[in-house]
Amino acid sequence: MRKLSVPRRAFLGGAAVAIALPFFESLTPREARGQAAAAPKRFLGVFMPNGFDMADFRPIGGPGALQLGPMMASLAPFKDQLLVLGGLQNTHQDHSTGDHAGGIGAMLTSRSVKFDSEKMGGASIDQVIAEQVGGGSRLKSLELAGEAGATEGACDSYRCSIGNHISFDASGTPLPKLFDTGQVFDRLFQGFDPSASAVDVARRNQSRKSVLDAVLAQAQDLKTKLNAGDNVKLDEYLNAVREVETRIGLGSSAGSCTPPIKKEGSLTDQQRHEVLNDLVSLAFQCDITRVSTLMWGNFGSNRNYAAAGAAGGHHDLSHHGTNQSSLDKLKMIGKWEMDRLADLLGKLKALPDSDGRTVLDNTLIFYSSDVSDGDAHNHDDMPVLLAGGGANFAMNRYLTYPDEPYFGELFLSIANAYGSTMTSFGEHGDKPLPGLNA
């Protein structure tokens, strides 16, 4: 039912994928083999929509050593790499509306959403970490979507730019996410051409740079002619072009990583989640990127989990009104979600890293939602699960915080664990969250 370890060739393409050598054997210089080289630290933020049945989410037996409840049963093989946090709140909701969108915008930023703005007030934790650790990889970060398109219409009276994104850059502008798994595959592995000579590659990179340099110069000239409002947009353009140009030629060693078989098109929800798990795991192992986020559903996602035995719309069901049938279905959805997380952890744990440990040992996963209970829409006592060894927190525990600190404190602790010297994060993140290092 669940896998302790996943055979490499199971990734993406089943038996058709043939990877002759473990990736790092082919990549690591011969003389360095056997020595523990420092591995990059990775971070993955996962958003699951509409909250959880919190009675089922909470570990059993109260704070202390972690005892997984029925929802998290499939996470048992990774229990020593899990930390469940109770009592955190994710945003200051001092206004009358905005529950889902407010929770989504705040989930990785610990900031309240502003009305009439397409932006958040600052960067999300994943982007803060990417600034710290993402310098050498080909992609600064990888934003993934589990649901196509974007919710239309009113997003809790906020702009929908917020409700459909969890990652925000330093200016608070949302980072778009890719849904099409084939496109994600291409972004990670396209251009892999083992026959290209170093001269060819250098020439191709030089051509890209020369074109981007020329348009950058033109854009700089345009900047002097535009008004201040339009220049906000042009600055986005300039920053984006510079970011792409800076990374041309970076992480080319990842090209030695044998790409998996591409899986795209129509996928069941389970297949889609597992393919995304494959892609992010390999992107980490191949060092194509060190930071990723997965937004499994859009704002108010009404996905039908009939295949998990929970027919109906997820958002609709999340307004359970203590109706037992709805609560039972929410338990099934929660269990389904945890089973997919188990799949991800299994894959990360099966991948050897350059330091001789596993990729999971060098990754921290932050897993949460926009609200706590989908019916009450509350933002206190949020569901928060951390997994993996990336931040060196003391795991295998259930911690509760009766004084209800904000996510900002947790994110400050995480940012510090990744080498940032920042002293506050977002709103209400002026001190580190105690207890994480035991």
Partner 1 sequence: MPALPNAVKHRGLSRRALLSGSCLGALASALLLPACDGVLSGSQPGAGPAPGGVGSNPVGGSSGTGGAPITASSKPEVDVMTIRRLNRAEYTNTLRALTGTNQDYGAKLPPDNLSFGFDNIGEALTVQPLHIEMFEQSADAALAELFALPASDARRTQTLSCDALTGGPACVLATVQAFAERAYRRPVAAAEITPFVSVADTFTQTGGSALDGLKLALKAVLLSPYFLFRVELDVSPTSKEPHRLTAYELATRLSYYLWSSMPDDALLTSAKAGNLASDAGLAAEVSRMLGDSKAQALVSNFAGQWLNLRRVAAVKPDETAYPNFNAQLASDLQAESTLFFAELVAQGRPISELITADFSYLNQNLAAYYGVTPPSGEGFTKVLLTGAHRVGFLTQGSFLTLTSNPTHTSPVKRGKWVLDQLLCSPPPPPPPGVDASLAGTGTPASVRARLEQHRAKEPCRSCHAIMDPIGLSFENFSGIGEYRASDQFGPIDASGTLATPNGDVTFNGASELVPLLAADARLAPCVAQKVLTYAVGRGFTTSDTSALQTVLNLTGATGQGLRGLFSSVALSEAFRSRRAVGE
Considering only residues 131 through 170, tell me which ones interact with partner 1, judged by CB under 8 A: 140, 143, 148-154, 156-157, 159-161, 164, 169
200 interacts with partner 1 by CB under 8 A: no
Handedness of CA 100, 105, 109, 110 (dihedral sign): negative
193 interacts with partner 1 by CB under 8 A: no
Q: Which stretch binds partner 1 (CB under 8 A): 126-134, 200-208, 330-338, 418-426?
A: 200-208
324 interacts with partner 1 by CB under 8 A: yes
Q: Which of residues 15-54 bind partner 1 (CB under 8 A)?
A: 54
> Which neighbouring-strand residues pair with 262?
none
- Other beta carbons within 10 Å of 216: 15
Complete edge-to-edge strand list for the sheet that includes strand 64-65: 64-65, 397-400, 82-86, 384-387, 363-368, 42-47, 291-295, 142-145
Q: What are the structure tokens assigned to 320, written together? A: 């359970």
Beta carbons of 210 and 250 less than 8 angstroms apart: no
Q: How far apart are CA 256 and CA 254, in angstroms?
A: 5
Nearest partner of 78 among 297, 407, 344, judged by Cα: 344
What Cα–Cα distance (Å) separates residue 136 from each residue in 102, 105, 256?
A: 33, 28, 16
Would you say 197 or 324 has its CB closer to partner 1?
A: 324
Would you say 175 or 360 has its CB closer to partner 1?
A: 175
Max CA distance (Å), the chain: 66
What Cα–Cα distance (Å) separates residue 220 from each residue in 142, 171, 213, 233, 359?
A: 28, 19, 11, 13, 42
Would you say 28 or 231 has its CB closer to partner 1?
A: 231
Among 40, 45, 49, 86, binds partner 1 (CB under 8 A): 86
Among 5, 252, 271, 323, binds partner 1 (CB under 8 A): 323
Beta carbons of 420 and 132 less than 8 angstroms apart: yes
H or E, element range at 208: helix 198-223
Smallest separation (angstroms) from partner 1 to the CB of 238? 9
Would you say 14 or 309 has its CB closer to partner 1?
A: 309
Among 35, 207, 253, 392, binds partner 1 (CB under 8 A): 207
290 interacts with partner 1 by CB under 8 A: no
Q: Which of residues 168-187 bind partner 1 (CB under 8 A)?
A: 169, 173-179, 183, 187
Smallest separation (angstroms) from partner 1 to the CB of 66? 14
Residue showing tokens 């360095």 = 32
Q: How far apart are CA 118 and CA 330, in angstroms?
A: 32
Smallest separation (angstroms) from partner 1 to the CB of 8? 28
Would you say 54 or 342 has its CB closer to partner 1?
A: 54
Smallest separation (angstroms) from partner 1 to the CB of 4? 31
Who contacts 199 (Cβ-Cβ below 8 Å, separation ≥6)?
Answer: none
Q: Rounded to the nearest 5°, which phi and psi values hold at 175?
A: -95, 125
Residue showing tokens 């990127």 = 289
Q: Which stretch binds partner 1 (CB under 8 A): 222-230, 250-258, 275-283, 357-365?
A: 222-230
Would you say 36 or 217 has its CB closer to partner 1?
A: 217
205 interacts with partner 1 by CB under 8 A: no
Q: Which of residues 361-380 bind partner 1 (CB under 8 A)?
A: 372-373, 375-380
Smallest separation (angstroms) from partner 1 to the CB of 388? 24
214 interacts with partner 1 by CB under 8 A: yes
Would you say 25 or 200 has its CB closer to partner 1?
A: 200
225 interacts with partner 1 by CB under 8 A: yes
Would you say 307 or 438 has its CB closer to partner 1?
A: 307
Would you say 29 or 321 has its CB closer to partner 1?
A: 321
Would you say 25 or 118 has its CB closer to partner 1?
A: 118
Residue showing tokens 């690591």 = 28
Q: Which stretch binds partner 1 (CB under 8 A): 5-13, 211-219, 273-281, 423-431?
A: 211-219
Would you say 229 or 265 has its CB closer to partner 1?
A: 229
Looking only at the bridges linking them, the beta strands covering 291-295 and 42-47 are: parallel
Amino acid found at 242:
R
Torsion of CA 227, 231, 232, 238, to 10 degrees: 180
Q: Which stretch binds partner 1 (CB under 8 A): 2-10, 11-19, 316-324, 412-420?
A: 316-324
62 interacts with partner 1 by CB under 8 A: yes
Amino acid found at 147:
E
Beta carbons of 133 and 186 less than 8 angstroms apart: no
Smallest separation (angstroms) from partner 1 to the CB of 161? 4
Nearest partner of 397 among 88, 86, 76, 66, judged by Cα: 66
Q: How many residues in the shown chain lie near partner 1 by CB under 8 A?
A: 93
